[in-house]
């Protein structure tokens, strides 16, 4: 049961300090490490410097598993366009529903309008890796227009976003800045108040 709870926490937060887990469950570090070793052996988690994180393959599985609620409709929840694999954006809700968007533009708009979101997964535009959308970086208004305007592309870290920005223009923003940027674009009057 404890291992399942740890896994759920990881799916929600991406990574957790081992010390957080010992406090949360009131057990020794050794007990927690035994639990984590099982998760690591099952390929579900990785341990790193006193932290445990969800295995990258697990993010991929999470994003790739079609949600019952959206099965059969691989269309963006926001704009109804088809979902290109490269810019796919997925919200996992606490009630088990999974919502898909065509790109971070739609995905972040969807995220900012939802409550009960368990995790938000975006795909790195360069490497295709599945990322926690809240910790990712975004290049907005670059010359690479995918489906929606203004174009918003997702990157694993600020450095690769900056590399891309040097080549293709636009601005590098973090998650909060990107949400603010999109709100401003969609409703300049409301955002100003
Ligand atoms: Zn869309
Ligand atoms: Zn789009």
- Distance (angstroms) between ligand 2 centre and the Cα of 20 equals 37
Is pLDDT at 32 greater than 80 in this prediction? yes
| pTM for the model | 0.63
Is pLDDT at 41 greater than 70 in this prediction? yes
Nearest ligand by distance to the CA of 154:
2
Nearest ligand by distance to the CA of 152:
2
- Distance (angstroms) between ligand 2 centre and the Cα of 12 equals 24
Q: How confident is the model at residue 187 (pLDDT cuts 50, 70, 90)?
A: confident
More confident residue, 15 or 137: 137
Q: How confident is the model at residue 91 (pLDDT cuts 50, 70, 90)?
A: very high
Q: What are the DSSP calls for 2-60, one per residue?
A: HHHHHHHHHHHHSEEEHHHHHHHHT--HHHHHHHHHHHHHTTSEEEETTEEEE-HHHHH
Q: How confident is the model at residue 71 (pLDDT cuts 50, 70, 90)?
A: very low
């Amino acid at each position: 049961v404890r291992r399942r709870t740890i896994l759920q926490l990881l799916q929600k937060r991406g990574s957790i300090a081992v010390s957080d887990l010992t406090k949360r469950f009131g057990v020794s570090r050794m007990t927690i490490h035994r639990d984590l070793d099982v998760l690591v052996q099952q390929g579900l988690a990785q341990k790193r410097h006193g932290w445990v994180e969800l295995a990258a393959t697990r993010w991929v599985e999470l994003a790739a598993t079609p949600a019952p609620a959206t099965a059969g409709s691989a269309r963006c929840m926001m704009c109804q366009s088809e979902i290109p694999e490269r810019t796919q954006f997925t919200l996992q809700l606490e009630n088990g529903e999974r919502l898909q968007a065509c790109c971070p533009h739609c995905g972040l708009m969807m995220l900012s309008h939802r409550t009960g979101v368990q995790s938000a997964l975006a795909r790195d535009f360069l490497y295709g890796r599945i990322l926690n959308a809240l910790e990712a970086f975004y290049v907005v208004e670059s010359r690479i227009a995918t489906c929606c305007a203004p174009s918003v592309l997702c990157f694993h870290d600020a450095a690769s976003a900056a590399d891309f920005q040097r080549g293709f223009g636009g601005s590098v923003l973090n998650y909060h800045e990107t949400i603010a940027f999109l709100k401003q674009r969609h409703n300049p009057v409301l955002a100003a108040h």
